[in-house]
Structure 1
Amino acid sequence: MTTATMTVGAVIPVYNHAVPVVGVARALRAHGVPVLMVDDGSEPVCAAALDRLAAEDGIQLLRLPENQGKGGAVMAGLRHAASLGWTHALQIDADGQHDTTDVPAFIAQARQHPAHFICGCPLYDASVPKGRLYGRYATHIWVWINTLSMAVRDSMCGFRIYPLSPTIAVLDRSRIGRRMDFDVEIAVRLVWAGVPVINQPTRVRYPEDGVSHFRVLRDNVLISAMHTRLFFGMLWRAPRLLWRRWAA
């Protein structure tokens, strides 16, 4: 694939982020990036805001009839992006915590390394809740175990670029979590599939009025089950993963 044949568009999963998503989408358009918003069953106020936003140039809306969870929305968005002829999809959260001034750096990496998964590596400011910051390390450690590498520095960052062809191939042959477990699981499975990774530093802040859809009990249970499932998947892949690492 050459730079001339690449098309990078943004996929934004949206669930009741009526205000911040406007700034995120318009910031992406200011960088010349086409935008696909995926309405994951939002309430009427947010749905109406998305309808207005979709009337703007370069912004499209894919509406899911029922809430699928973040992972379900992203997967629907990735498949729709491929149908639009995009070769790469930039995933970014709708809540405004990611710094869109870093978008050119992500796209530059993707253009220089089109076969790579460009994964955001957060640089936090003082707004990050300490409990969430420290809690992430349990997942980091499990990801390093389940990939037998430190290829992915932070699998929970929702700011990343997928090469769509290998990513959709993974989606087609795997049953991947549809909620907050998605970001982690797809990262592990891309490593298993041999997709190389670039960890791109990016600034992250937590807005004081931010809305989080992370449900502590439900999502922690899903994430724990995912780590267990991936661990057993790693065991029979271990010889290949270790051989690949040695050869590299």
Structure 2
Amino acid sequence: MSHAPASAAGTFLPCALIPIYNHKDTIAATVQALRAHGLPVVIVDDGSNDATRTVLDGLVSCDVQLIHLPRNGGKGRALTAGMIAARDSGFTHALQIDADGQHDVTDVPRFLAEGRAHPDTLICGQPIYDASVPRARLYGRYVTHVCVWLETLSFMLRDSMCGYRLYPLEATCAEIDRAPLPARMDFDTEVAVRLIWHGVSVRNLPTRVIYPENGLSHFHMLHDNLRISAMHTRLLLGMLPRAPMLLWRKRRRRAAWAA
């Protein structure tokens, strides 16, 4: 992959970042759609099977970088590796998007426009679901929403579990360097909460999300829910010593809006 030039003040150099584990049937269309919007693509293969690896190897080009991880370590580990690689290639922002066609690629220009206008901000997808969403997954998300509002003492982040978002890489990689992030499905929520703790603003972008028929999901109801519960316990405890600072920031934002 041709490296982007080193970022400079005011430069906006985004790429798309796709973690993948065995989504061989949908990845080519996702990459093609992203390239149609002019985005270089970084794919992180999280230990996929041979059939998927063959498809991925065929996608590599000057604008599509492929990172093979030796074994399946989880979505969070793949995203961590991809963000570090994107930063080291000179990109300033990474648009995280799923490999399975769940996210609306026609919204890519909207994410990029928000990132260009607010380069230090985390741009988070706020899902608009259709009838394909499993009800148990939909209702379960509300528990996490409430926990996140408590952990950040704000309603800044509308949906912390949506994997369609634009990261400012400097701040995100600094958080990775500060302390390891979760390796699996709890990554999306924890990284967003920790970025907010360290002063990163959030903008929420409504976007259509579907659950494709016969789609391949790697969410394990028992194990991932246990991890998410442990994460919220950890984050709620981490919020307590930060509460004065978070409340002070909230007061400053209100004062700025009222001015």
For 1:81 and 1:109, how far apart are their aligned partners in 2?
A: 19
Percent identity, please.
Answer: 58
- Give the match's secondary structure for 2:58: helix
How well do the aligned residues superpose, as a CA RMSD in angstroms? 1.0
Q: Post-superposition shift, 1:57?
A: 4.6
Q: State the Cα distance separating 1:22 from its structure 2 match.
A: 1.0
Give the partner amino acid of 2:33: A
- Structure-2 residue corresponding to 1:64: 69
Structure 2 length-normalised TM? 0.93
Q: 1:147 aligns with which of 147, 152, 157?
A: 152
How far is the alpha carbon of 1:66 from its aligned partner? Answer: 1.2
Map 1:12-31 to 2 at 5 A: 12-31=18-37
The 2-side partners of 1:146 and 1:174 are apart by 18
Q: What whole-Å deviation, never above 9, does each CA across 1:220-243 have from its counterpart, x for those lacking one?
A: 110000000000000000000001
Q: Secondary structure at the match of 2:87?
A: helix
* Residues matched between the structures, number: 246
Q: Where in structure 2 are there 5+ consecutive unaligned residues?
A: 1-7, 254-259
Shift of 1:2: 5.7
C-alpha distance in structure 1 between counterparts of 2:195 and 2:98, whole Å: 20
Post-superposition offset of 1:175: 2.6
Name the SS of the counterpart of 1:93 in structure 2.
coil
TM-score by length of 1: 0.97
Structure 1 stretches of 4+ with a deviation exceeding 6 A read none
Question: 1:132 is aligned with what amino acid?
Answer: R
> Is 1:132–2:161 an aligned residue pair?
no
CA distance in 1, matches of 2:159, 2:88: 29
Select 1:107's aligned residue among 112, 126, 137: 112
Residue 176 of structure 1: CA displacement? 1.7
Please name the residue that 1:6 is paired with.
Answer: 12
Distance 1:105 1:16 in 2: 28
Equivalent runs, 1:18-97 vs 2, <5 Å: 18-54=24-60, 56-97=61-102
Does residue 162 of structure 2 align to residue 157 of structure 1?
Answer: yes
Distance 1:158 1:26 in 2: 19
Which amino acid letter does the alignment assign opposite residue 19 of structure 2? P
Q: Which runs of 5+ in 1 are unaligned?
A: none
> 2:205 matched to 1:200?
yes
**2:238 alignment partner, one of 223, 233, 239:** 233
Mapped to 1, the partners of 2:62 and 2:128 lie a distance apart of 32
